[in-house]
């Protein structure tokens, strides 16, 4: 197969490839920046001149709406749209094929954006509490819809806030990717949690919560249904996990009280991080069970929030080897003591 043939083939649609050694899947996308010159400099965007397609009144500048909430009866409060430049597409079949050692499939899946407010000026920390709760209801509504497509094995819900975290659009929004594979870091968690369960017949996350609540030193905040901790082996300074107290493997099976508490905990945690770290870029990733699986006694859904601070060596992300300069007990103390 010549280079031209391969290049021609992948240009037509995104492709998912498997690393033959580790089993890690990667989306090879062609709708985004591709040529060397695209990487060289960030374009200087004339801020204030460009029209934001996520603002109220500009709805015709986005792909068609998938879902919206209109809490006041007039005008939307939250809106879900397809990504204009999706990394994955719903149309077509998986087309799993091998090529000698290598495995690939077509880039089938969903890539949606959840616009959290029509107001460009607000950040997640500044939204009304009902609006943050609606973000989780939108996550849930979209998961319940998309999981009916049996090709979709995992649904990644996340937010990139700020350029250092990969956030390219200023207007506050989250993202959904429905994937035909389970991301490797999630699979490692599932495998590790299952090993613990097979040995002890207990959920390891429930065990972590029990031990950390008793110890107290890594707790950031708690409510009736949710606890925020700095994990014992935090990879990054101020890495924060928000965990439902009660065992639930799938986010979408949580009840209203947990969702309301999680929304409160997320907003409060972000407010504390913004206070202590002066408005850092951050990533939020919801870790949940594969959507086609029944309830799992060993996995416990949770949210991970990772501020993207300077001075973290790039190689750490490539080796899985991390040096964290802030003991999680100290980070927890700073966050507990923050006045918001």
Which residues are known catalytic residues?
A: 173
Look at the chain and count its residues. 340
What burial letters (b/e) apply to 306-325, b meaning 16+ CB within 10 Å?
A: bbbbeebeeeeeeeeeeebe
Minimum CB separation of residue 244 from a second copy in Å reads: 16
Nearer to a second copy, 313 or 340 (CB): 313
Q: Which token pair is 272?
A: 């504390």
Nearer to a second copy, 142 or 300 (CB): 300
Nearer to a second copy, 119 or 316 (CB): 316
Cβ-Cβ contacts under 8 Å for 191 (sequence gap 6 or more): none
- Measured distance CA(102)–CA(63) in Å, rounded: 35
- Measured distance CA(228)–CA(243) in Å, rounded: 6
Nearer to a second copy, 135 or 204 (CB): 204
Minimum CB separation of residue 38 from a second copy in Å reads: 8
Minimum CB separation of residue 242 from a second copy in Å reads: 15
With tokens 């190689």, the residue in question is 315
Cβ-Cβ contacts under 8 Å for 280 (sequence gap 6 or more): 162, 164, 238, 273, 274, 307, 308, 309
How would DSSP label each residue in 264-281? HHHHHHHHHHHHHHTS-E
Minimum CB separation of residue 72 from a second copy in Å reads: 32
Cβ-Cβ contacts under 8 Å for 329 (sequence gap 6 or more): 217, 218, 230
- Measured distance CA(258)–CA(136) in Å, rounded: 10
> How far is C-alpha 338 from the chain's CA centre?
25
- Asked if 298 and 204 touch (Cβ cutoff 8 Å), the reply is yes
CB atoms inside a 10 Å sphere around CB 256 = 11
Cα distances from 106 to residues 3, 16, 219, in angstroms, run 18, 6, 43
- Measured distance CA(71)–CA(85) in Å, rounded: 29
Minimum CB separation of residue 316 from a second copy in Å reads: 7
- Asked if 299 and 178 touch (Cβ cutoff 8 Å), the reply is no
Minimum CB separation of residue 255 from a second copy in Å reads: 25
Nearer to a second copy, 67 or 165 (CB): 165
Nearer to a second copy, 221 or 260 (CB): 221
Minimum CB separation of residue 248 from a second copy in Å reads: 17
Nearer to a second copy, 68 or 324 (CB): 324
């Amino acid at each position: 197969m010549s280079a031209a043939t391969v290049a021609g083939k992948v240009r037509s649609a995104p492709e998912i490839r498997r690393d033959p050694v580790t089993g890690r899947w990667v989306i090879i996308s062609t709708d985004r920046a591709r040529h060397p010159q695209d990487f060289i400099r960030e374009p200087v965007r004339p801020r204030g001149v460009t029209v934001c397609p996520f603002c109220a009144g500009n709805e015709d500048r986005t792909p068609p709406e998938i879902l919206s909430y209109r809490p006041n009866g007039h005008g939307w409060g939250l809106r879900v749209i397809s990504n204009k430049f999706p990394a994955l597409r719903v149309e077509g079949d998986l087309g799993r094929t091998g090529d000698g050692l290598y495995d690939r499939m077509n880039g089938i899946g969903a890539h949606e954006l959840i616009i959290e407010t029509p107001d460009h000026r607000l950040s997640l920390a500044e939204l009304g509490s009902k609006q943050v709760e609606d973000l989780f209801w939108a996550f849930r509504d979209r998961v319940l819809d998309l999981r009916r497509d049996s090709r979709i094995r995992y649904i990644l819900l996340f937010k990139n806030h700020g350029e250092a975290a990969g956030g390219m659009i200023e207007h506050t929004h989250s993202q959904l990717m429905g994937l035909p594979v389970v991301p490797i870091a999630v699979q490692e968690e599932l495998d590790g949690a299952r090993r613990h369960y097979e040995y002890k017949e207990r959920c390891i996350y429930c065990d972590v919560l029990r031990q950390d609540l008793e110890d107290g030193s890594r707790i950031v905040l708690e409510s009736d249904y949710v606890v925020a901790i700095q994990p014992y082996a935090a990879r990054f300074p101020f890495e924060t996990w928000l965990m439902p107290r009660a065992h639930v493997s799938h986010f979408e099976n949580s009840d209203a009280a947990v969702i309301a508490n999680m929304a409160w905990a997320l907003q409060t945690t972000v407010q504390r991080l913004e206070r202590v770290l002066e408005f850092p870029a951050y990533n939020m990733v919801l870790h949940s069970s594969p959507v086609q699986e029944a309830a799992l006694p060993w996995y416990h859904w949770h949210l991970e929030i990772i501020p993207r601070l300077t001075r973290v060596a790039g190689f750490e992300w490539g080796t899985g080897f991390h040096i964290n300069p802030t003991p999680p007990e100290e980070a927890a103390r700073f966050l507990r003591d923050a006045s918001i």
